[in-house]
Amino acid sequence: MTQVKICGIKKLNDAMFAANAGADAIGFVFAESKRRMSIEQAANIAMNIPDHVKKIGVFVNPSRIELEETYQQVGLDYVQLHGNESPEFCESLSLPFIKALRVSSDKDLRALKTYEKASYFLLDSATGPYQGGNGTTFGWELLKDQKINRSKLILAGGLNEDNVKTAINQSTPVMVDVSSGVETNGQKDPIKIKQFIQNVKERSTCHTHNL
């Protein structure tokens, strides 16, 4: 079944709601962003949500020390690297990481093989002013015939309750990641979170039955 990560969580209520609605992972943004939060805020949420929900910290070009301290103090399961972190930097890390790549054409997928130590790789849209969380999609169809290890593929970028089933059909990722698409007026929206997760799980069930 396709897993779901709800990213940009800033409140314990939202984290609990997402967990109870079936989220498999939640994301805390430590990069420059309107969703940015402190280590203390994230640690307080992390210690109060069920263990089975993975805690993922999102960074853009962090220092090694920032990564290690945040990972340990919050109790993260993974760090998500959303900037221009080099393969050498990533390979030298001693913590589990997800490497995000911004995709606008199939040429961008060539970088995947240079991050082999990544636990997962996350494909996001290249459109928008920020390094992530732009709420913009990319052409998922370009993933269809690519030789990609789907068990390590997280799909992100502009996903929402209306497009997530199509996105999964076209890219067959192990996990989908959403931030903007489950917000209203810049705040996480429980109705959208619930519907998003329901649509993903529904779609996954249908898929399994069709196999």
Ligand X SMILES: O=C(O)c1ccccc1N[C@@H]1O[C@H](COP(=O)(O)O)[C@@H](O)[C@H]1O
Does the footprint of ligand X cover residue 159 (CB under 6 A)? yes
Question: Of 92, 91, 127, nearest to 108 (Cα)?
Answer: 127
Binding window for ligand X (CB under 6 A); candidates: 45-53, 66-74, 107-115, 172-180 = 172-180
d(CA 79, CA 62): 10
- The question of whether 77 is a catalytic residue gets the answer no
| Residue 3 is a binding residue for ligand X (CB under 6 A) | no
Q: Distances in Å between the alpha carbon of 190 and those of 13, 69, 97, 143, 180?
A: 10, 31, 28, 30, 13
- In the shown chain, the binding pattern of residues 67 to 96 toward ligand X, with x for contact by CB under 6 A and - for none, equals ---------------x--------------
Could you confirm whether 90 is annotated as catalytic?
Answer: no
**For ligand X, which stretch binds (CB under 6 A), given 12-20, 47-55, 84-92, 156-164?**
156-164
Q: Residue 190 interacts with ligand X (CB under 6 A)?
A: no
Give the contact letters, 105-134, x = binds to ligand X (CB under 6 A), - = no. -----------------x-x-----xxxxx
Give me the least distance between CB of 193 and ligand X, in Å please. Answer: 12
- In the set 14, 51, 90, 124, the catalytic residue is 124
Q: Does 197 bind ligand X (CB under 6 A)?
A: no
Query: Which residues are at the interface with ligand X (CB under 6 A)?
Result: 7-8, 27, 29, 31, 33, 35, 58, 60, 82, 122, 124, 130-135, 156-159, 177-181
